[in-house]
Chains A and B, each alone.
Chain A
């Protein structure tokens, strides 16, 4: 029984607070999490992991490459499943449940995309934008075809491409938490390296950091983040989570360290708001809206809100910091 049933926006937060207090006292076990709370935590986790990555993607102007990755994920998942199935035996729950599967899918996704794009660009001399576009549409078409062929044992329909927040489960939380933690650790650990490769890759190369290695690491992490988010918000909407929080945070500050801190905050806050608002709309207006769609909408509004001051005052730098 979901305790949040019929609550409006403010009641949602007061109940959340009460349950949080109870959980701290130890009255509430982990498995007692209501579905709204699972959604909230998963979306917040996704928001945190994507916004961390997004900062770097935007700095390196690789967001359209992330878009390409989001398309090729489908093929990555299918091939990970097909490869792992004979290796590790059946994972009966289906796709997106298993940590190994997650990693393998991310690996295949980034591998397919990078190798084929580079092949077209370097060997076949196709211009860059066209090679990205050609690769991901083709791989996506292949992915859809493969899903149609193997859908019966994959628990993965074409609808799953859109994600479904309401079908989230506790083990999704585990996966998303893992990805968010990994991203945070990698970002903190290599902060200096990221900074130098993002702003001056030649200096980085001359100092002995291999920019290519970090590009590849970033791509793999992006793929991992996308795969992790795929069950919650689907492969397309996760892009909004990648670009909006960092860009919104850039309206506030231009310092990379603060960006790394602010953008996950914004991402997580927007996720919490989205879950609460979706509950509010359902309880009060009986509007059942897609929480992921709502999240993207909120992110858009957030960006607009932060954009307005700098548009009116014509300030180029961040407004606060």
Chain B
């Protein structure tokens, strides 16, 4: 087993690890903008469109050098940049001049460019097998051959990306969240769009070495989707996405080195690129389920809790209607509300814990003053809402009960106060029932 720190310090391991971390940070930053613009599939198309550029530059370089040298990385980056730019130009051309739908245009350019890439690669495979091997690394990503020198190059590129994002930050905020304001201060949407697309292509050429052109869009999307689940602030979104991107790159490298050692199975030596994407996907899946604000688990929990509260308030309401002095046995409570014995005992237990039921003798209970107040507030909200519907919205008194039955669980104290003021503190509801008002103290 190689320890975590070794991945950042060891002279063999630090190149690939830090290198792919830098790359994934760049793609994650740009991915956030793409996610906001709903343009993530453009990232997919353009990353494939970079492939012929990679092969083409290798083909060109192979005419000059016999074997790939140290500078091969730069020429590949340049080639990929050019061909992805061409792809972008063609996509917008097809959309605007030929009025193709973006879906078809993206798919067209993606497949055409990839096909040309394959065509060129088949030529390179015959003439310069060494070069062919080298560029195959860009298909599924292979960071293992990165050295310190590459790290420096990529660090500079990532720095440029980060600076651009920093510069773009305010414009992104204006344009995508408040278009009218952006226009009024004279922000040029076209210029920002141009810069965003430049950034996208830049991040693609940076990231392709770590996860490869085929999987690159995964690293554009996954960190942004994951980060979106934890925050709604744009600045925090960028920060978290970068963190998640870098983290998945690190873990991906760590796992791909350590898994075979851990299980003593050579066959577990999995390629780094897919591993990074899998880690990123796992993080976003985790976020989808467990994030505090919008995670599935907590959302389900909150829905459940709300349902339970409604049920509880309905039970209290039912008991309230029997009168203040009335005592109940457990079976009566269950019977009144037509509960199953299981949910009945659960509710009973909850009401006891909250102190809403008071014990009066053996097996006899009655509403405590707290429980009484809670129940009468629910009834009050119900009846106030009925008055409001009839007096202000002109509904017929027969048809307001159902709506009130739902809203009584939702109205806050502020709304209750407003309703009371608006309706001039009514004493009777449309059905001539009194509106209770014995929780004045809570209103304050």
Partner of A137, one of B119, B122, B218: B218
What is the total number of residues of chain B having a CB less than 8 Å from a CB of chain A? 56
Q: Which of B39, B41, B43, B296 has the most CB of A within 10 A?
A: B41
Contact between B225 and A130 (Cβ–Cβ < 8 Å)? yes
Given known A-B contacts A120-B288, A133-B40, A311-B97, A63 and B281 have beta carbons under 8 A apart: no
Chain A positions within 8 Å of B115 at CB level: 236-237, 240, 292-293, 295-297, 299-300
Query: How many angstroms between the C-alpha atoms of A58 and B221 in the bound complex?
Result: 24
Chain A positions within 8 Å of B107 at CB level: 63-64, 66-67, 239, 242-243
- Interface SS of B by simple majority: helix
Contact between A134 and B104 (Cβ–Cβ < 8 Å)? no
Chain A positions within 8 Å of B114 at CB level: 236-237, 239-240, 296
Chain A positions within 8 Å of B126 at CB level: 288
Q: Is B112 an interface residue (CB 8 A)?
A: yes
Instruction: Name A288's closest neighbour in chain B (CB-CB).
Output: B126
Chain B positions within 8 Å of A142 at CB level: 274, 278
Q: Is B268 an interface residue (CB 8 A)?
A: yes
Partner of B118, one of A124, A239, A290, A299: A290
Partner of A140, one of B35, B108, B215: B215
Chain A positions within 8 Å of B101 at CB level: 58, 61
Q: How many A-B residue pairs have CB under 8 A?
A: 173
Contact between A240 and B111 (Cβ–Cβ < 8 Å)? yes
Contact between A134 and B270 (Cβ–Cβ < 8 Å)? no
Q: Is A97 an interface residue (CB 8 A)?
A: no
Contact between A61 and B103 (Cβ–Cβ < 8 Å)? yes
Contact between A144 and B271 (Cβ–Cβ < 8 Å)? yes
Chain A positions within 8 Å of B222 at CB level: 134, 137-138
Chain A positions within 8 Å of B284 at CB level: 134
> Interface size for chain A: under 10, 10 to 19, 20 to 34, or 35 or more residues?
35 or more
| Per-position binary interface string of chain A over residues 278-321, scored 1 when its CB falls under 8 Å from any chain B CB and 0 otherwise | 00000000011110111111011001000100110000100000
Given known A-B contacts A144-B271, A144-B274, A287-B123, A138 and B116 have beta carbons under 8 A apart: no
Chain B positions within 8 Å of A120 at CB level: 288
Instruction: Name A239's closest neighbour in chain B (CB-CB).
Output: B111
Q: Which of B97, B104, B106, B221 has the most CB of A within 10 A?
A: B104
Q: Which of A132, A138, A288, A311 has the most CB of B within 10 A?
A: A138
Chain B positions within 8 Å of A287 at CB level: 123
Contact between B274 and A141 (Cβ–Cβ < 8 Å)? yes
Q: Is B44 an interface residue (CB 8 A)?
A: yes
Instruction: Name B122's closest neighbour in chain A (CB-CB).
Output: A290
How far does the Cβ of B430 sit from chain A's closest Cβ, in whole Å?
A: 39
Chain A positions within 8 Å of B288 at CB level: 120, 124, 126
How far does the Cβ of A290 sit from chain B's closest Cβ, in whole Å?
A: 3
Given known A-B contacts A162-B118, A292-B115, A127 and B281 have beta carbons under 8 A apart: no
Q: Is B48 an interface residue (CB 8 A)?
A: yes
Chain A positions within 8 Å of B270 at CB level: 145, 148-149
Contact between A67 and B110 (Cβ–Cβ < 8 Å)? yes
How far does the Cβ of A68 sit from chain B's closest Cβ, in whole Å?
A: 9
Contact between B215 and A141 (Cβ–Cβ < 8 Å)? yes
Query: How many angstroms between the C-alpha atoms of A99 and B309 in the bound complex?
Result: 56
Contact between A133 and B217 (Cβ–Cβ < 8 Å)? yes
Given known A-B contacts A67-B107, A133-B44, A293-B118, A127 and B35 have beta carbons under 8 A apart: yes
Q: Is A247 an interface residue (CB 8 A)?
A: yes
Contact between B100 and A247 (Cβ–Cβ < 8 Å)? yes
Instruction: Name B265's closest neighbour in chain A (CB-CB).
Output: A149
How far does the Cβ of B99 sit from chain A's closest Cβ, in whole Å?
A: 8
| Per-position binary interface string of chain A over residues 53-64, scored 1 when its CB falls under 8 Å from any chain B CB and 0 otherwise | 000001001111
Name 11 A/B residue pairs within 8 A (Cβ), A-sorted.
Answer: A58-B104, A137-B221, A137-B281, A144-B271, A145-B274, A148-B270, A242-B107, A287-B123, A290-B118, A293-B120, A307-B98
Interface residues of A (CB under 8 A from B): 58, 61-64, 66-67, 71, 120, 123-127, 129-130, 132-134, 137-138, 140-142, 144-145, 148-149, 158, 162, 234, 236-237, 239-240, 242-244, 247, 287-290, 292-297, 299-300, 303, 307, 310-311, 316
Interface residues of B (CB under 8 A from A): 35, 38-41, 43-44, 48, 97-101, 103-104, 106-108, 110-112, 114-123, 126, 140, 214-215, 217-218, 220-222, 224-225, 267-268, 270-271, 273-275, 277-278, 281, 284, 288, 294, 296
